Amino acid sequence: MAILLENASVVTLNATKPILEARQILIDDGTIAQVGRKIHTEGTPITKRIDCSGMIVMPGLVNAHCHLTEILQKSFRDNMRMEIWRGYRATTEDLAKLTAAEIGTAAELACSEMLKNGVTAVVDHFSTRPGLSVDKMEAVLGAFEKTGIRGMLVPSLRDQDFIRLATQSNGRKSAKQTAPEPWREEVLTVLARLRRTRSHCGMMLGPSSPMNCSDALLREVVNVAEQFDLGIHTHLLETRLQSWAAHQIYKKPLCVHLARIGFLSSRLSTAHSVWLDDREIDLLASSGASAVHNPASNLKLGSGIAPVAKLKSRGVNVALGTDGGDTSDSYSIFEQMRLAAYLSRVVAEDPTNWITAAEALRMGTVNSAQAVPAWRGKIGMIRSGYCADLILLKPSLRLRPLRDVVHQLVFCEGGQSVHTVIVAGKVVVEGGDFTQVDENSLIRRVEPISRKMHRLYSRIKKVPDRSQKITRELYKKALAAKGLPVRFLTK
């Protein structure tokens, strides 16, 4: 099916010509075939014409790190550090015993929220309790197909617990590993099925975090990724406690250890990357790895602010992610772009080191595509030969008066102007409405699942948990190790 966009104001991501006016874009077989003032379409039957007069046409936004099923616990918690928050989230999931159908429904809702906010591609770092299974992974892939979003499924892997390791008197040598969850057979089964289809979705491997994985598991992940040409995605040094624990476990900076075992490479993207030292930043840069900034989540959980300007200055590609529905509390990359720009002005005195609107826009589009090996040079820009992942915005009141499109997309837009969304050349949102999803039916299906989880959480949060006390004591040690005061919230 060929689509012709006419009279388009095109966001180029080019510094010298950020906007091209009165352009046509020809989409053929899911790909951007031509961009120009007057396109010759002879020999290409046009099945749909879209008049973009008064609209902004921009690359689809890319969410380079999130957890789709956390939408079921949206805004359940507040005033908690990440490690305590994670315990509550995991226990709630344990008790809920979500079925594959429930997981698929949750993923479908999160993907739908993203599409309506202009996100056309998403990386789902997927974890489920009690563990991975073929039917649950395929439920997420099914949600990608149902909604039409370009999805990357990243099964979360782990075989140890970093807090237990950090508190062992003899470190890693005496620490007992948790029973490893079977993953290789299940993941490769799903991958084989996926590659037999013409899906525009894919898979990567996702160690939960390096400290929650043994060196043997990390090496196995690298070997499988190389054998099957897969990307690798992980959480990295999200909190101050993790930074302290890394030194307790490895007796050296974490990225120094990861470089030694061959884990760092251009296949890798690292979510959060907040507590990196200069040496670690240089190691990420030299390896070609990408960092994924999750500003809203890091703010809500009090985890810290990623050194984005420093990462960029050393040559690290910096992407954007939303994290989960109970940390960012939304799946909007427009919000992350704005926060990324604002936060850079808190940590850098020199305005030349601040993240500009144009840089933030690149972080939410082409940079995030660059973080995923399978998407590099294929999405994130409006260019001939790229996949046709586009959003059309009909400027809402928040964008009026409209004078600088790039500045206002970052500093004013929140998703309200999204009118039409095209993924792989297929219109999935038109006039603000889904073309493949029954929104009201989807909401009705999600409600009883989320209610069940909220009842469970309301029950467990009343029960004292010894692990919370341990976490608070460890934070005191982490703060004291840096000579910082140990006053912080006790919740």
Tell me the pLDDT of the chain (491 aa) as tens digits.
899 999 999 999 988 899 999 999 999 999 999 999 999 898 899 999 999 999 999 999 999 999 999 999 999 999 999 999 999 999 999 999 999 999 999 999 999 999 999 999 999 999 887 778 999 999 999 999 999 999 999 999 999 999 999 888 555 554 455 555 679 999 999 999 999 998 999 999 999 999 999 999 999 999 999 999 999 999 999 999 999 999 999 999 999 999 999 999 999 999 999 999 999 999 999 999 999 999 999 999 999 999 999 999 999 999 999 999 999 999 999 999 999 999 999 988 899 999 999 999 999 999 999 999 999 999 999 999 999 999 999 999 999 999 999 999 999 999 999 999 999 999 999 999 999 999 999 999 999 999 999 999 999 998 877 778 888 888 888 888 877 776 644 44
| pTM for this model (two decimals) | 0.96
Structure tokens at 94: 């344990």
Q: Is residue 39 assigned to a domain?
A: yes
Number of domains into which the chain is organized: 2
Q: Is residue 489 assigned to a domain?
A: no
Q: Is residue 394 assigned to a domain?
A: yes
**Which residues are CB-contacts of 156 (< 8 A; sequence separation ≥ 6)?**
125, 126, 127, 132, 206, 207, 208
- Burial of 397 (C-beta count, 10 Å sphere; 0-12/13-18/19+): exposed
Say what the pLDDT of residue 170 is: 54
**Which residues are CB-contacts of 16 (< 8 A; sequence separation ≥ 6)?**
none
**453/124 Cα distance (integer angstroms):** 21
Say what the pLDDT of residue 3 is: 98
**158/179 Cα distance (integer angstroms):** 9
Within this chain, do residues 313 and 228 fall inside the same structural domain, yes or no?
Answer: yes
Q: Select from 123, 116, 10 the least CA-distant residue to 68.
A: 123
Within this chain, do residues 99 and 47 fall inside the same structural domain, yes or no?
Answer: no
Q: Is residue 417 assigned to a domain?
A: yes
Within this chain, do residues 42 and 73 fall inside the same structural domain, yes or no?
Answer: no
**Which range of residues forms the domain containing residue 23?**
2-59+385-434
Residues facing residue 387 across a β-bridge: 31
Phi, psi (rounded to 5 degrees) for 21: -90, 155
Say what the pLDDT of residue 63 is: 98
Residue 423 to residues 6, 55, 102, 242, 429: CA-CA distances in angstroms? 18, 18, 25, 37, 9
Q: Select from 174, 180, 178 the least CA-distant residue to 221.
A: 180
Say what the pLDDT of residue 171 is: 53
Choose the final residue of a domain: 434, 450, 472: 434
Within this chain, do residues 128 and 239 fall inside the same structural domain, yes or no?
Answer: yes
Residue 128, classed as helix, strand or coil, is coil
Residue with tokens 């370009």: 150
Within this chain, do residues 251 and 398 fall inside the same structural domain, yes or no?
Answer: no
Q: Is residue 475 assigned to a domain?
A: no
Using an 8 Å Cβ cutoff, are 204 and 234 in contact? no
**165/372 Cα distance (integer angstroms):** 31
Within this chain, do residues 34 and 114 fall inside the same structural domain, yes or no?
Answer: no
Task: Residue 328: give its domain's CATH number.
Answer: 3.20.20.140
Within this chain, do residues 313 and 208 fall inside the same structural domain, yes or no?
Answer: yes
Say what the pLDDT of residue 487 is: 60
Within this chain, do residues 106 and 220 fall inside the same structural domain, yes or no?
Answer: yes
Q: Is residue 172 assigned to a domain?
A: yes
First to last CA, the chain: 55
Q: Dump the DSSP string for 127-157.
A: --SS---HHHHHHHHHHHHHHT-EEEEEEEE
Structure tokens at 307: 């050194």
Q: Is residue 451 assigned to a domain?
A: no
Within this chain, do residues 9 and 125 fall inside the same structural domain, yes or no?
Answer: no
